[in-house]
Amino acid sequence: MNDQDILNLIKKDKWMMKVLKIAEDLDFPDWVIGAGFVRNKVWDHLHGFSNSKVDTPDIDLVYYDPEGNDKKTDEDFSQKLKEQTGINWEIVNEFYAHKFNGIPPYKSTEDALSQWPETATGLGVKLENGNLKLIAPYGIDDLVNLIIRPCPKFPGNLEVVKERAKKKQWFEKWPKLKFFSD
């Protein structure tokens, strides 16, 4: 798979396109929907699963705006959007999100994605003028090769990532996954 194959997979999914259109209409600066939205779709596809809806507990819509919302406002907006759409949204301004991990401020949404736990998680997709755009700071090789690897800038380590995978039951859902090893 290449970037375009992933975008085509998303484009064919009416539910994903509906979610992306809702996000585009919100008009947040420097936004993407990341984490499981793309990752799970690709892993499902590579495992031969044909879910009509991505297996993700929430929609991680992140954006970067120094003049934008604070955590409480984003949480309130996420709840309001959930009530309006029936979809569980988690909207976060990456301008303040670095505080969750006690690290220096992010410079952009892509910079934030580059510091998420796994390379297969630290990516996202957006609609820009009606066109899909994939943002993948470390490329898609790990994602399409079913490799779980910590992002180089992630403040944790492989053990933290392994614990996340166990807690989220990734190997039960996607048994072809494998951890990165040197």
Domain parsing of the chain, residue ranges: 3-179
pLDDT at 63 over 90: yes
- Picking from 37, 29, 46, the residue whose alpha carbon sits closest to that of residue 10 is 37
pLDDT in tens, 125-159: 999 988 999 999 999 999 999 999 999 999 888 99
Burial call 5-18: b when 16+ CB within 10 Å, e when fewer: ebbebbeebeebee
Report the pLDDT value the prediction gives residue 93, as an integer from 0 to 100. 97
Left if phi > 0, otherwise alpha if psi is -120 to 50, otherwise beta: which for 130?
Answer: left
Report the pLDDT value the prediction gives residue 57, as an integer from 0 to 100. 75
d(CA 60, CA 162): 21
Please measure the distance between the N-terminal and C-terminal CA atoms of the chain and give it in whole angstroms.
24
pLDDT in tens, 95-120: 999 988 888 999 999 999 999 999 99
Task: Report which of residues 46 and 56 the model is more confident about.
Answer: 46
Report the pLDDT value the prediction gives residue 181, as an integer from 0 to 100. 76
Burial environment of residue 156 by CB neighbours within 10 A (0 to 12, 13 to 18, 19 or more)? middle
pLDDT in tens, 154-182: 988 899 999 999 999 999 999 999 998 75
pLDDT at 59 over 90: yes
- Picking from 36, 3, 2, 4, the residue whose alpha carbon sits closest to that of residue 19 is 36
Report the percent of the chain where pLDDT is more than 70. 97
Token pair in block for residue 168: 């989220």
- Picking from 4, 34, 13, 17, the residue whose alpha carbon sits closest to that of residue 144 is 4
| 126 neighbors 132 (Cβ within 8 angstroms) | yes
- Around 2, how many Cα atoms within 13 Å sit in the side-chain half-sphere? 1
Mean pLDDT of the chain: 93
pLDDT in tens, 67-84: 989 999 999 999 999 999
3-state helix, strand and coil shares in percent for the chain, rounded to the nearest 5: 45, 15, 40
Report the pLDDT value the prediction gives residue 22, as an integer from 0 to 100. 95
